[in-house]
Amino acid sequence: AQSVTQPDIHITVSEGASLELRCNYSYGATPYLFWYVQSPGQGLQLLLKYFSGDTLVQGIKGFEAEFKRSQSSFNLRKPSVHWSDAAEYFCAVGRGGTASKLTFGTGTRLQVTL
């Protein structure tokens, strides 16, 4: 069965500092991988996704993620964090024919200090 692990429950970074959120997955086939952000009162928003091709994926809001098959990882990065990036971040793996059934990690709460 597929699973997603986000080892860091809570991360605090200073505004302007770089960020890396970790995600490890377990899946028997080629994974479809996603990163979502959840802000209070708002629905989850897709930051980026990986299906195939270039293993470095660019997303919205300046985020990127790198798929590393050998490490079963899909870590999310941002070179310079803004205070508005404070939110809950979820990594997910898609299953099913169209990767529509998502299995989510437990999330990482990002706090940004000024």
Question: Which 3 state secondary structure label does DSSP give 36?
Answer: strand
- Rounded distance, CA 54 to CA 103, Å? 23
- Using the rule CB under 8 A, is 100 a contact of other proteins? yes
- Using the rule CB under 8 A, is 105 a contact of other proteins? yes
Q: Which is nearer to other proteins, 15 or 73 (CB)?
A: 73
- Options 20-28, 38-46, 62-70, 74-82: segment touching other proteins (CB under 8 A): 38-46
Q: Which of 45, 55, 71, 84 binds other proteins (CB under 8 A)?
A: 45
CA diameter of the chain: 44
- Using the rule CB under 8 A, is 46 a contact of other proteins? yes
Dihedral of the CA atoms 13, 17, 18, 24 (nearest 10)?
0
- Rounded distance, CA 70 to CA 76, Å? 17
Site track for other proteins across 54-93, x = CB under 8 A: ------------------------------------x---
Q: Which of 23, 107, 110, 112 binds other proteins (CB under 8 A)?
A: 107
What the block records as the tokens of 102 is: 């998502």
Residue whose entry in the numeric block shows the structure tokens 């971040």: 89
